[in-house]
Amino acid sequence: MIAGVPRESRPGERRVALVPASCKALAKAGFEVVVEAGAGQAAGFTDGEYTAQGARLCGRAEVFATADLVLQLNGPGQEGAGEDLALCRAGQVLVGLQDPLGNPQGTAALAARGVTAFSLELVPRITRAQSMDVLSSMATVAGYQAVLEAAAHLPRLFPMLMTAAGTLTPAKVFVVGVGVAGLQAIATAKRLGAVVEAYDVRPAVKDQVLSVGAKFVEFDLETAGAEDKGGYAKEQSAEFIRRQQEQMQAVVARNDVVITTAAIPGRRSPVLVTAAMVAAMAPGSVIVDLAAERGGNCELTRADEVVVAHGVTILGPTDLPSRKPYHASQMYARNVETFLKSLAPKGVFGIDTGDEVVAGTLLTQGGDVVHPRVRELLGLPALAPTAPKGE
């Protein structure tokens, strides 16, 4: 089976779906790898490194024309990826980030093209699939980079310094949302010497916050059932968010940096930091909103823009993993490598819908949308259950 890796076409994207080391590993698993010339250049991987690991270089059109399996970060199911979709052919297998919950119409377009598409955002949170979890990998990079962006814009140093010119007090950082990105942000801010506190609607994460040296902020809110079966925070009611905002205002005001990470797949991000909270912060403070792509956790956030309001700098980056493309690509490629090996455990590629990971990530097959949740978003009726083999 030929696996093809095209250069990412999304503006500003510097990552690549497969790094040279993974090419060698996939070759051992029975895959032939073709890579578009220059695909890894922006991430720091040369064409020579790919060929040294057994990959064959070719042009973009040839990648799509010859590959049985196309590996991408930003798959053609995402909004604005129509050009890539036009290069795909019926029966081709696509593996990448497809944004099916945020852009279900893109999934419908994939089905109409006749491709078999897998969406790596939907890898189930089970023990066996941890090594395939691209969202956690990219969130790790985003959490780290968010702190660096904050430090670059903050007009003060992060650590406490005792100098001949006097003692400099440490910066104070507040992290809202303690998932993978939040924990990495906490750990990075601590390494830079900041005093860190964090909050999450899920009280179960308190021990994780304490384990990385931060203070866990607790509010007087009913949080039973705040976490779904996948470990994500559930969407909360308008009244819950109102009370949360009231209690959070004093915490936001006393911190120099606020990093927000609260995002719900396929939904608009909840507004946790209001304009009034921003106005209460000290001039020069910084907010880094990691939920900007879905509208933002801060009321004043604008995606991919720097907003200054009341003397506070509000950053809404949507490309943080791409700003550290070498290691982001390395992590993503390892996730993809593991995923593909699970589809070809004995060197023979197959799609076993009885496998929880396959069933959870398979979007389209045979010209139809087959993922139940995406079908629901598209208003399509549920598919009839498939009879077990042998019946």
**Domain coverage including residue 105:** 2-132+324-377
302 is a domain residue: yes
What average pLDDT score do residues 84-109 get?
95
The residue from 10, 56, 60, 125 that is catalytic is 125
Check: CB of residue 77 under 8 Å from CB of residue 109: yes
Q: Is 214 helix (H, G, I), strand (E, B) or coil?
A: coil
Instruction: Output the pLDDT for position 233.
Output: 57
Q: Which amino acid is at 100?
A: P
What average pLDDT score do residues 195-209 get?
92
263 is a domain residue: yes
Do 48 and 153 lie in a common domain?
Answer: no
Among 318, 333, 361, identify where a domain stops: 318
- Residue 83: is its pLDDT beyond 90? no
Among 318, 333, 366, identify where a domain stops: 318
Q: Residue 341 is inside which H or E element, if any? A: helix 325-343
Any catalytic annotation for residue 22?
no
Instruction: Output the pLDDT for position 390.
Output: 46
Check: CB of residue 76 under 8 Å from CB of residue 84: yes
The residue from 10, 60, 232, 355 that is catalytic is 232
- Residue 33: is its pLDDT beyond 90? yes
- Residue 175: is its pLDDT beyond 90? yes
- Residue 69: is its pLDDT beyond 90? yes
Bridge partners (DSSP) of residue 199 are 176
Do 330 and 294 lie in a common domain?
Answer: no
386 is a domain residue: no
The residue from 130, 211, 228, 268 that is catalytic is 130
Q: Residue 279 is inside which H or E element, if any? A: helix 275-280
Check: CB of residue 107 under 8 Å from CB of residue 117: yes
For the ranges 113-117, 148-152, 241-245, the lowest mean pLDDT is seen at 241-245
Do 309 and 331 lie in a common domain?
Answer: no
Torsion of CA 343, 348, 351, 352, to 10 degrees: -80
Q: What is d(CA 36, CA 16) in angstroms, rounded to the nearest whole number?
A: 10
Q: pLDDT tier at 16 (50, 70, 90 boundaries)?
A: very high
Report residue 378: phi and psi, to 5°: -85, -5
**Tokens matching residue 26:** 């996939």
Do 146 and 243 lie in a common domain?
Answer: yes
Do 284 and 245 lie in a common domain?
Answer: yes
Do 237 and 94 lie in a common domain?
Answer: no
Q: pLDDT tier at 389 (50, 70, 90 boundaries)?
A: very low
112 is a domain residue: yes
What does the pLDDT look like over 287-301, one tens digit per residue?
999 999 999 999 999
342-350, long-range: CB < 8 A, 24+ apart = 342/132, 344/1, 344/29, 344/30, 344/31, 347/29, 347/30, 348/30, 349/1, 349/30, 349/68, 349/69
What average pLDDT score do residues 149-159 get?
97
274 is a domain residue: yes
Among 318, 333, 367, identify where a domain stops: 318
Instruction: Output the pLDDT for position 82.
Output: 64
- Residue 347: is its pLDDT beyond 80? no
390 is a domain residue: no
For 346-376, what is the HEC assignment? Answer: CCCCCCCCCCHHHHHHEEEECCEECCHHHHH
Instruction: Output the pLDDT for position 241.
Output: 81
User: Looking at residue 64, which CATH number applies to its domain?
Assistant: 3.40.50.720
Any catalytic annotation for residue 130?
yes
389 is a domain residue: no
Any catalytic annotation for residue 136?
yes
Q: pLDDT tier at 251 (50, 70, 90 boundaries)?
A: very high
Do 172 and 226 lie in a common domain?
Answer: yes
Q: How many domains does the chain have?
A: 2
Any catalytic annotation for residue 133?
yes
385 is a domain residue: no
The b-or-e profile of 213-228 (16+ CB within 10 A means b, else e) is: ebebbeeeeebeebbe
Do 126 and 150 lie in a common domain?
Answer: no
Do 39 and 172 lie in a common domain?
Answer: no
Instruction: Output the pLDDT for position 245.
Output: 85
Any catalytic annotation for residue 352?
no
**Tokens matching residue 130:** 């941890």
For the ranges 165-169, 224-228, 289-293, 383-387, the lowest mean pLDDT is seen at 224-228
Instruction: Output the pLDDT for position 264.
Output: 83
Do 238 and 285 lie in a common domain?
Answer: yes
The residue from 14, 53, 92, 133 that is catalytic is 133
Residue 232, classified by CB atoms within 10 Å of its CB into exposed (0-12), middle (13-18) or buried (19+), is middle
Q: pLDDT tier at 203 (50, 70, 90 boundaries)?
A: confident
Do 7 and 104 lie in a common domain?
Answer: yes
> Which range among 46-55, 224-233, 349-358 has the greatest average pLDDT?
46-55
What average pLDDT score do residues 140-168 get?
97
Q: Which residue has the higher pLDDT, 231 or 46?
A: 46
- Residue 230: is its pLDDT beyond 60? no
Q: What is d(CA 208, CA 219) in angstroms, rounded to the nearest whole number?
A: 17
Do 155 and 207 lie in a common domain?
Answer: yes
Instruction: Output the pLDDT for position 201.
Output: 86
